[in-house]
């Protein structure tokens, strides 16, 4: 299939053969080639999640109809737990249909399924699969989540946070937590200074989700965490968690992360070089930042790329540039190379891309580059 991009291109007949081959080692009756042929026939025109569902449906029709037995077989093929820093989308991406299997077919067996999701999340992730269990088996699942938040495995602890994110990308919104995030905060409490970067990033993303619907709750939580847990780990979580509010120029969020003086900062010059790119190239962002005040200030400098979409409209994406300590009257030059390359979550289209410079959430300069494909 030519022209395919992103993660979805991996979920095809070859993925079915990979999964099927592992299953056949423990379940010899599994027809690997029949599975692969069916997947190849059904995936054309489908996006990632629908392709993963095709693979999960193929597993359901070929594994024993007894769900606990089917799950036992699938858990037996999972392999070793991922170490810190090993990515679920580059090491164990092919396990996504296994998690989808539990999501789709296991709700009548919550205990068995939650046990399986713990094992899956150690090797891949179960952040999507857990969500219907939260909705349909709330008390049981949230009790498990609270236990997982104290698990020795960083992968399981991360699952406690990631699985409860109110607005997890690619997943259904957990409206109950949008309306009342307190149960989520109770899960996050023991994770606010976690030693694992993988866990900390999830905790920060979760609190950032909360900040979009309940900014006052997120701000109060962040401030309390900073006061009660004065560790570098908590400080990092708070900075990352408040990024949306910081980018909006929320003064309370800026104060919590130690950013000041936005009204006294100028960007007298900014330039992109080159301004004409093809996919795979980079443009150098170069700018001067000046503090016009008589006091020292800490400023957060970000840049926003307005990505052109297929319909000609654009979607802004904010990237962290730097945090600067500027003395009174100081002017500092900042450079950053921005690569224009496709990733699993973004496809580029030709056209003029605006790039804004934000200081403490305020746009102070703009330039543009033209992308040619």
How do residues 136-180 score in pLDDT, each as one tens digit?
999 999 999 999 999 999 999 999 999 999 999 989 899 999 999
Domain residue ranges of the chain, discontinuous segments joined by +: 1-126, 262-371
Structure confidence at residue 266 (pLDDT): 96
Mean pLDDT, range 177-187, rounded to an integer: 98
> How far out from the chain centre does Cα 241 lie?
13
Structure confidence at residue 330 (pLDDT): 96
Structure confidence at residue 5 (pLDDT): 55
* pLDDT(2) > 60: no
The model's pLDDT over 322-361, given as tens digits with 9 standing for 90+, comes to 999 999 999 999 999 999 988 767 889 999 999 999 998 8
DSSP code per residue over 149-188: TT-S-HHHHHHHHHTT-TT-TTS---HHHHH--HHHHHHH
Structure confidence at residue 17 (pLDDT): 98
Structure confidence at residue 4 (pLDDT): 54
Structure confidence at residue 320 (pLDDT): 87
Structure confidence at residue 247 (pLDDT): 81
In this predicted model, which residue has the larger pLDDT, 243 or 54?
54
Name the pTM for this structure: 0.81
Where do the DSSP E strands lie in the chain?
A: 265-273, 276-278, 282-291, 297-308, 314-326, 331-339, 351-359, 362-372
pLDDT category, 72, cuts 50, 70, 90?
Answer: very high
Mean pLDDT, range 232-249, rounded to an integer: 92
Note whether 16 and 58 are within 8 A (CB). Answer: yes
pLDDT category, 292, cuts 50, 70, 90?
Answer: very high
229: β partners: none
CA 251, CA 259: separation in Å to the nearest integer? 9
DSSP state of 255: H
CA distances from 97 to 110, 254, 296 (A): 18, 41, 53
Q: Which of 37, 107, 34, 45 is nearest to 71 (CA)?
A: 107
pLDDT category, 6, cuts 50, 70, 90?
Answer: confident
The model's pLDDT over 241-288, given as tens digits with 9 standing for 90+, comes to 999 998 887 889 998 998 888 889 999 999 999 999 999 999 999 999
CA 146, CA 148: separation in Å to the nearest integer? 5
The model's pLDDT over 295-309, given as tens digits with 9 standing for 90+, comes to 999 998 999 999 999
Query: Where does 262-371 sit in CATH, by number?
Result: 2.60.40.10
Cα distance from N-terminal residue to C-terminal residue, the chain: 20
Looking at the chain, the whole-number percentage of residues with pLDDT higher than 90 is 85
* pLDDT(133) > 60: yes
CA distances from 339 to 3, 4, 12, 309, 357 (A): 21, 21, 29, 18, 17
Looking at the chain, the whole-number percentage of residues with pLDDT higher than 70 is 98
């Amino acid at each position: 299939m030519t022209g395919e991009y992103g993660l979805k291109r991996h979920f095809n007949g070859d993925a079915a053969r990979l999964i099927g081959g592992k299953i056949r080692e423990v379940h010899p009756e599994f027809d690997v080639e029949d599975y692969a042929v069916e997947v190849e026939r059904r995936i054309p025109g489908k996006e990632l999640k629908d392709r993963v569902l095709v693979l999960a449906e193929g597993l359901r029709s070929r594994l024993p109809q007894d769900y606990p037995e089917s799950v036992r077989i699938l858990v037996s093929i999972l392999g070793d737990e991922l170490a810190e820093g090993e990515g679920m989308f580059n090491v164990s991406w092919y396990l996504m249909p296994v998690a989808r299997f539990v999501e789709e077919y296991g709700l009548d067996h919550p205990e068995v399924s939650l046990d399986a999701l713990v094992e899956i999340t150690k090797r891949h992730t179960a952040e999507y699969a857990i969500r219907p269990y939260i909705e349909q088996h709330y008390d049981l699942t949230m009790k498990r989540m609270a236990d997982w938040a104290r698990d020795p495995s960083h992968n399981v602890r991360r699952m406690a946070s990631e699985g409860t994110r109110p607005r997890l990308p690619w997943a259904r919104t957990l409206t109950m937590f949008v309306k009342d995030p307190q149960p989520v905060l109770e899960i996050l409490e023991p994770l606010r200074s976690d030693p694992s970067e993988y866990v900390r990033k999830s905790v920060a993303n979760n609190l950032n989700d909360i900040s979009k619907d309940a900014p006052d709750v997120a701000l109060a939580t962040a401030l309390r965490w900073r006061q009660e847990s004065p560790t570098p780990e908590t400080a990092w979580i708070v900075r990352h968690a408040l990024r949306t509010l910081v980018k909006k120029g929320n003064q309370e969020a800026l104060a919590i992360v130690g950013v000041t003086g936005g009204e006294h900062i100028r960007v007298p010059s900014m330039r992109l070089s080159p301004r004409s790119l093809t996919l795979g190239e980079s443009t150098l962002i170069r700018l001067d930042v000046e503090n016009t005040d008589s006091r020292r200030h800490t400023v957060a400098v970000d840049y926003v790329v307005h990505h052109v979409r297929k319909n000609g409209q654009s979607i802004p994406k904010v990237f962290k540039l730097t945090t600067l300590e500027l003395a009174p009257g100081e002017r500092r030059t900042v450079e950053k190379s921005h690569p224009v390359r496709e990733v699993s979550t973004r496809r580029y289209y030709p056209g003029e891309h605006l790039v804004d410079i934000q200081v403490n959430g305020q746009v102070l300069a703009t330039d543009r580059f033209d992308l040619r494909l």
